[in-house]
Structure 1
Amino acid sequence: MLEKLKGWARNFKKQIYILYLSYKDERVPWYAKVFTACVVAYAFSPIDLIPDFIPILGYLDDVIIVPLGVMFALKMLPDVVINDCTEKAEELLKKGKPKNWIIGSLIIVVWCLLLVWAMITIYNLLNG
């Protein structure tokens, strides 16, 4: 059972890399690029929609939401793009995780803005 789980995790990681590479491809429609970029950004983001310290619900996004996003994103991509990106993803897996500091910084800025907005909204609600 442990080997099945490890195999699933390796395959899932490869699928994330396939999506990462495919959103840069010109053959992918714009709506698929947007959805794919969101799925990849969320999968690589250290910040979760539901924090992991919340019992059971904390891992819901890791176990259900991200795999569903990956599945839908892969269905939006043309087969030829998936085949090309699969080969590139296998090479990337041998090298290590790609680093995109611009996207990473953008994710952090968006989360910080959301946090500030939430704090201001809560403050205004409490002080009415």
Structure 2
Amino acid sequence: MWQRLREFARHLKAELLALSFAARDPRTPWPARALALLVLAYALSPIDLIPDFIPVLGQLDDLLLVPAGLWLALRLIPAEVLSDARARAAAHPARLARSAWGLGLMLALYALAVWLLWRGWLGPWWQHRS
């Protein structure tokens, strides 16, 4: 079982590297590029939606959100771009480093969510408006 998990983690890292190459390819449509950059920013950000110190939920967001976002982003990228990106990732395997851009994007998203909650725009449960 541990061997399968290690293989899955290696495959996920390779796909994230391929996604980073595909996101920089000019043949990638802008919606796929935007989603790819969001997935990469979340995957490489040192902060998560749910902090890792929270038991179970902290790891669950990484185990669900990153693969789901990766799956969706890869589906939006044209097949020829994706095959080129995978070949490039296989030829030049590199470790994706933590991203300051990812940290900045995640902090901006948190700030936006807090602002929307404060303004009462995320739902009636937060603040009753008359």
Indicate the TM-score class for this superposition, using the shorter chain for normalisation: 0.7 to 0.9
- The C-alpha deviation readout for 1:48-95, integer Å capped at 9, x for no partner, is 0000111111112111011100000010011101110011112332xx
Q: Please give the alpha-carbon distance, in whole angstroms, between the structure 1 residues aligned to 2:4 and 2:44.
A: 23
The 2-side partners of 1:33 and 1:49 are apart by 21
Once the two structures are TM-superposed, the CA of residue 97 in structure 1 deviates from its matched residue by: 2.3
Q: In structure 1, list runs of 5 or more residues that go unmatched.
A: 122-128
Q: Does the aligned pair in 2 maintain the 1:49–1:61 contact within 8 Å?
A: yes
Residues 54, 10 of structure 1: alpha-carbon distance in 2 compared, 3 angstrom cutoff: same
Distance change (3 Å), C-alpha of 1:65 and 1:101: closer
The corresponding residue for 2:47 is 47
TM superposition score normalised by structure 1 = 0.77
Secondary structure of 1:59's aligned partner: helix
Q: What residue is the counterpart of 1:38 in the other structure?
A: 38
Identity %: 38
- For this pair of structures, how many residues does the alignment match? 119
In structure 2, list runs of 5 or more residues that go unmatched: 120-130
Q: Counterpart amino acid of 2:35? A: F
Instruction: Answer whether contact 2:19 2:36 (CA < 8 A) is retained.
Output: yes
1:125 paired residue number: none
Query: Structure 2 CA distance, aligned partners of 1:100 and 1:44?
Result: 5
TM-score (norm: length of structure 2): 0.76
